[in-house]
């Protein structure tokens, strides 16, 4: 009866507002825990006249209801985005019960059933990623339904970071990391990883994790007499832990709510992909260090309709109020038609990476675009040019390349663009000869080669002509050393990655937002 009431309250919260939902969940769980504690003290008979503690009741339930199909089903849910019940509560207790003589479960049977369930759950996420795509998945993650299942876009971004960092092996390694293992199948599906290696890596990682958790149950079974002796005390401990967990999430909710009040400044970054971006970490640390009441959010956007919806949400001031946001690949040019005004320098470059949101006295909103990439590069390269006369090659004619070109003009550095196609303003990669390399000691990678899915690529230059007199600069900062920079190291040249450029442009954006 009590369980029915608790479940009913929980289901009803799906249609409630966020405020009411968290309160009802908290009160329902607290009531459930209180009833369980009272029942343990008063005594609940289960085919016996003895009073059973809460812990004994749990073990009896597992003993009667836990079978291999149930274990597989629960683990399938745990390994998919519906993972509300943690694997520790499924496998360890099932393994504990399996060591009793009067049950049909075995230790390795529990591990095998759990691994089958983990594979099924992984295949669910893998399939959803393939058939739904990134746009729909991220929308689902940030919906009310997604939040109800403890899902959000930050968790997906975290999983994608793992996949970018460790490639296919992350499907195996990620299974050993709490908070990652439930979602690591999603980036595998988005990247169209082949099914066979995906299943192999999933089984290997899951079986390792499940064996460790089952071993915990095996160890606890060895302490069976001690557990029975202190079952009442352990029951109280279970209730206390549950209450503390609920309090933790409730306090976390209140903190997040406080951060997103009208008095909180909200900034962000739009673009795709954002899994390797350091912007959120940089600004979050800055806000904490300087005690600024603000937060920085990531918005994975890549299509024009998504830009329109994002800008409309800002203008309507529904859901959140932003003060400014940065723009990264591939939106630095696409964002321009949605702005009210563009700084002359950004207009000349033809790319915007910083947007300031201004509301005047009449409460009219204006979005103005700036380019801080050019300033960021200028400040990063300037110390390395003092007292030297260098000509430059800029690989790439996109937004970053044009921003760098504007900076080089201010520094009186002559340059050539290098691209795949020939124009009046650039040469092609095939035209870069030994003479061209020797005449241009500063070589800049302003392309995406070396980043994300193209991390194993680099501009096709004749690197054998690079010398210790050369300076190679890469706008990419993650990874810290791209293949482009490694090529330079192999030939003794100096190298600079994009980390200082990133910091410079971020600080310039902050100054613009607060000017």
Residues forming the active site: 332
Going by C-alpha positions, the residue among 376, 332, 381, 377 that lies closest to residue 353 is 332
3-state helix/strand/coil string of 437-490: HHHCCEEEECCCCCCHHHCCCCCCCCHHHCCCCCEEEECCCCCCCCHHHHHHHH
SS3 413: coil
Distances (CA, A) of 507 to 5, 400, 417, 497, 504: 53, 18, 28, 18, 5
Dihedral sign for Cα atoms in the order 500, 502, 505, 507: negative
Contact 201, 173 (CB under 8 A): no
Element housing 340 (H / E): none
Helices (H) and strands (E) in the chain, counts: 21, 12
Rounded Cα gap, residues 39 and 49, in angstroms: 14
Helical (H) or strand (E) element with 396: none
Residue found by looking up tokens 């201004």 in the block: 358
Whether 236 contacts 37, CB under 8 Å: yes
CB 180 within 8 A of CB 58: no
How far lies 284's CA from each of 19, 263, 340, 385, 510, in Å?
25, 17, 28, 33, 12
**Distance (Å, rounded) from C-alpha 182 to C-alpha 205?**
12
- Taking the C-alpha atoms of residue 92 and residue 69, their distance in angstroms, rounded to an integer, is 16
What lies within 8 Å, CB to CB, of 176 at 6+ separation is 205, 208, 209
Per the listing, tokens 């209180």 go with 34
């Amino acid at each position: 009866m009590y369980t029915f009431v608790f479940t009913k309250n929980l289901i009803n919260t799906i249609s409630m507002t966020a405020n009411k939902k968290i309160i009802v969940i908290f009160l329902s769980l607290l009531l459930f825990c209180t009833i369980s504690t009272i029942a343990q003290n008063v005594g609940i008979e289960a085919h016996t006249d003895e009073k059973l503690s809460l812990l004994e009741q749990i073990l009896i339930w597992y003993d009667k209801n836990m079978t291999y199909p149930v274990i597989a089903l629960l683990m399938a849910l745990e390994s998919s985005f519906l993972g509300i019940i943690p694997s520790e509560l499924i496998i360890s207790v099932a393994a504990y019960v399996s060591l009793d003589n009067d049950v049909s479960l075995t230790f390795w049977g529990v591990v095998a059933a759990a691994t089958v369930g983990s594979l099924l759950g992984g295949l669910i996420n893998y399939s959803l990623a393939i058939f739904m795509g990134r746009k729909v998945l991220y929308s689902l993650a940030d919906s009310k339904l997604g939040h109800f299942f403890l899902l959000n876009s930050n968790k997906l971004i975290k999983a994608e970071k793992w996949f970018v960092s460790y490639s296919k092996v992350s499907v195996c390694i990620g299974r050993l990391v709490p908070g990652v293992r439930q979602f690591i199948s999603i980036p595998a599906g988005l990247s169209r990883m082949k099914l066979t290696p995906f299943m192999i890596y999933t089984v290997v990682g899951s079986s390792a994790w499940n064996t460790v958790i089952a071993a915990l149950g095996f160890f606890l079974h060895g302490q069976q007499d001690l557990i029975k002796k202190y079952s009442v005390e352990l029951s109280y401990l279970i209730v206390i832990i549950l209450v503390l967990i609920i309090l933790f999430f409730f306090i976390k909710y209140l903190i997040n709510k406080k951060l997103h009040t009208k008095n909180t400044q909200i900034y962000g970054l739009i673009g795709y992909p954002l899994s390797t971006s350091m912007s959120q970490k940089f600004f979050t640390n800055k806000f904490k260090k300087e005690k600024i009441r603000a937060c920085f959010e990531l918005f994975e956007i890549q299509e024009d309709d998504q830009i329109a919806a994002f800008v409309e949400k800002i203008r309507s001031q529904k859901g959140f109020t932003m003060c400014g946001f940065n723009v990264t690949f591939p939106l630095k040019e696409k964002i321009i038609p949605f702005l009210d005004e563009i700084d002359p320098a950004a207009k000349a470059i033809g790319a915007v990476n910083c947007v300031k949101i201004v509301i005047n006295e009449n409460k009219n909103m204006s979005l103005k675009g700036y380019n801080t990439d050019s300033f960021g590069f200028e400040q990063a390269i300037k110390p390395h040019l003092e007292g030297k006369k260098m000509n430059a090659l800029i690989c790439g004619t996109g937004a970053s390349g044009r921003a760098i070109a504007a900076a080089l003009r201010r520094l009186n550095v002559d340059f050539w663009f290098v691209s795949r196609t020939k124009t009046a303003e650039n040469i092609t990669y095939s035209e870069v000869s030994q003479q061209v390399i020797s005449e241009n000691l500063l070589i800049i990678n302003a392309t995406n080669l070396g980043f994300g899915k193209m991390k194993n690529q680099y501009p096709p230059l004749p690197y054998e002509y690079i010398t210790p007199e050369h300076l190679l600069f890469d706008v990419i900062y993650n990874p810290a050393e791209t293949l482009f920079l490694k090529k330079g190291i192999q030939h003794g040249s100096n190298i600079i990655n994009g980390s200082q450029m990133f910091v410079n442009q971020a600080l310039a954006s902050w100054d613009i937002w607060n000017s």
